[in-house]
Amino acid sequence: MSRRVALALGSGGARGFAHIGAIEVLEERGFEVSAVAGSSMGALVGGVMAAGRLKAFKDWAVALKQRDVLRLIDPKWAAAGAMGADRLINHLNEFLTDIEIENLPIPYTAVATDIEARREVWFQKGLLRTAIRASVAIPGVITPVVVDGRLLADGGLLNPVPIEPTAASGADLTVAVSLQAPRPAQEPASPVRAAAAPQWVEDWRGRLRQVLHTREPKAAALPEDLRIGTVLGLSLDAMQDLIARYRMAGLPPDIHIAVPVSASGILDFHRAADLVVLGRSLTTKALDDAGY
């Protein structure tokens, strides 16, 4: 008899392709997914799986090249986000179709954030693609949407790994896949105390001796290859890692599969093939360690 699994799929942009590998391994080992909840990319992969289109979605994703991703991006530089994501969602209609969430074969929840009311929104009814579009609206990157009068953005803002919607599913065990790996044991979580002095203070002091008046030091230059997407991604990862750890401490899963943030950037959608393989590897190890 197969074991019933409640699956919580986390947010984290392109790293969410690792969810595909995790689901594949669970199915290969005889687990039956009896409920799934997801935030952001977790909502997308979970929804495609619930709709029975995961294999077709994977085939499409692993074939994506960087130029293909750029064609799917809908620039909205003057709007509330860098990308509209409408072209991408429209392209995904092949996988999401017009199916209603309540007609999916398994209970499904897409988590979004009402950024005005500062509360989670759980989509458990209505159009699957509408729920996913709301959940994937990464702040500053993908424009938010208005649904039922609510201004909605990425579910990972408040619930990066949504275990709670599956709590009443009656599953044998809960499996959570987070996309922000836990902090290494040797790296403390406590605040770091640092001086605000620039790293070049000694050089500045040396120059000061050569002049007769004090000058205001110039700020250190940022790395030349630093982009806004990288800054947003790192900032969101830091925030979601902390929130996820606190929330999972209150409602821990039976099995936690953690994909490291170093696996890819949030917009590296052309790296799907590598991320699927990583998801398979991490899930295999987690199940082996748990005796499954």
Per-residue pLDDT reduced to its tens digit, 235-263:
888 889 889 999 999 999 999 999 999 89
**pLDDT of 121:** 97
- Residue 121's SS3 state is strand
Band of residue 214 on the pLDDT scale cut at 50, 70, 90? very low
Q: Which range has the worst mean pLDDT, 92-106, 123-137, 183-197, 243-257?
A: 183-197
Selected catalytic residue, list 11, 34, 40, 169: 40
> What is the rounded average pLDDT of the residues 146-169?
94
**pLDDT of 116:** 95
Dist. CA 30–CA 292, nearest whole Å: 10
Residue 173 has pLDDT above 60, yes or no: yes
Band of residue 210 on the pLDDT scale cut at 50, 70, 90? low
Dist. CA 218–CA 211, nearest whole Å: 16
- Residue 18's SS3 state is helix
Residue 1: CB atoms within 10 Å = 6
Band of residue 137 on the pLDDT scale cut at 50, 70, 90? confident
Interacting residues of 62 by C-beta distance below 8 A, sequence separation 6+: 272, 273, 276
Residue 19 has pLDDT above 80, yes or no: yes
User: Is 178 part of the annotated catalytic residue set?
Assistant: no
Nearest to 123 by CA among 209, 3, 42: 42
Residue 156 has pLDDT above 60, yes or no: yes
| CA distances for 155 relative to 35, 72, 219, 227, angstroms | 18, 22, 36, 24
Model pTM score: 0.84
Side-chain half-sphere exposure of 74, counting CA atoms within 13 A: 13
User: Is 154 part of the annotated catalytic residue set?
Assistant: yes
> What is the rounded average pLDDT of the residues 85-105?
83
Residue with the bigger pLDDT between 28 and 67: it is 28
**pLDDT of 212:** 45
Three-state SS string over 130-184 comes to HHHHHHCCCCEEECCEEECCEEEEEHHHCCCCCCHHHCCCCCCEEEEEECCCCCC
Instruction: Please give the single-letter amino acid code of residue 103.
Output: N
What is the DSSP-derived secondary structure letter of residue 262?
A: G
- Residue 193's SS3 state is coil
Nearest to 285 by CA among 262, 258, 261: 258
> What is the rounded average pLDDT of the residues 191-199?
60
User: What does the block give as tokens for 120?
Assistant: 């989670």
Selected catalytic residue, list 154, 237, 241, 268: 154
Band of residue 266 on the pLDDT scale cut at 50, 70, 90? confident
Band of residue 188 on the pLDDT scale cut at 50, 70, 90? low
Q: What phi-psi label fits residue 260: left (phi over 0), alpha (psi between -120 and 50 degrees) or beta?
A: beta
**pLDDT of 91:** 78
Residue 53: CB atoms within 10 Å = 18
Dist. CA 171–CA 273, nearest whole Å: 30
